[in-house]
A = this chain, B = another copy of it.
Amino acid sequence: MIIEMNQNIMESNNSRAEEIRKILEKNRLAMINFISSPGSGKTSLLEKTLEKLTEDFRTGLIEGDVNTSRDARRLERFGLPITAVNTRGACHLNSAIILKALGELPLNELDCIIIENVGNLVCPSEFDLGEHAKIAVSSVPEGDDKPQKYPLLFREAKCLILNKIDLLPHVPFDRNIFYRDIENLNPKLPVIETSCTTGEGMDTWVEWLKAFITAVLK
């Protein structure tokens, strides 16, 4: 019974995702959806990313949060158009929410939209938001077994960021296990190791993102 309900939800979600794809195409927009566990450093990563991304692309933000607009407030300093979505407890963003959020952004003044999803390694991966790419963020202190334990995100992602690599000396994390599991799940997935504390890997990541957005907008 629950599965059937999920199917109904998914069908309505997919048809709205189609609508979103049309809107993005019509407005010549790229849309990128960041997904991770709570506390993997998504917002810090976005702060570092926006500093560079906005040099080349006019960027709008959709910030999903279960209960606050705390992350949206952290990103306000960039002065970018931003829609804060408080899901009131719901564990993911769906395409109905994104459709509504897009209606509040000045689409014809933008090149790309960055979505920061609710911190959750499970549910957000199941929802097609009409985005061009899901970006998975995994962080070193979460452990090397995340791809194996939560495979859907790692299968769906167009790029994987392994964040907080400055903590490698302080936690048990076996790169061989992590990369072996990625190889099994999604062998072509680019993996970029980053640290927002030391700045390591940020240039490589921003370069990847800029190239991806450029390809979408072509």
Binary B-proximity of A51-86 (CB < 8 A = 1, otherwise 0): 000000000000001111011000000000000000
Report whether A146 and B38 are in contact in the complex, using a CB–CB cutoff of 8 Å: yes
Chain B: CB-nearest residue to A9: B2
Number of copies of this protein chain within its complex: 2
Pick the residue among B9, B71, B166, B171 that contacts A5 (CB under 8 A): B9
Q: Is A47 on the interface with B (CB-CB < 8 A)? A: no
**A169 CB to closest chain B CB, in angstroms?**
9
Binary B-proximity of A130-143 (CB < 8 A = 1, otherwise 0): 00000000010111
Q: Which of A16-24, A104-112, A121-129 contacts B (4 or more CB under 8 A)?
A: A121-129
Q: Is A149 on the interface with B (CB-CB < 8 A)? A: yes
Report whether A122 and B89 are in contact in the complex, using a CB–CB cutoff of 8 Å: yes
Chain B: CB-nearest residue to A123: B91
Pick the residue among B68, B149, B167, B171 that contacts A119 (CB under 8 A): B149
- Going nearest first, the 8 A-B pairs with the smallest beta carbon separation are A39-B142, A141-B141, A91-B122, A37-B38, A39-B143, A91-B123, A38-B121, A37-B37
Report whether B9 and A150 are in contact in the complex, using a CB–CB cutoff of 8 Å: no
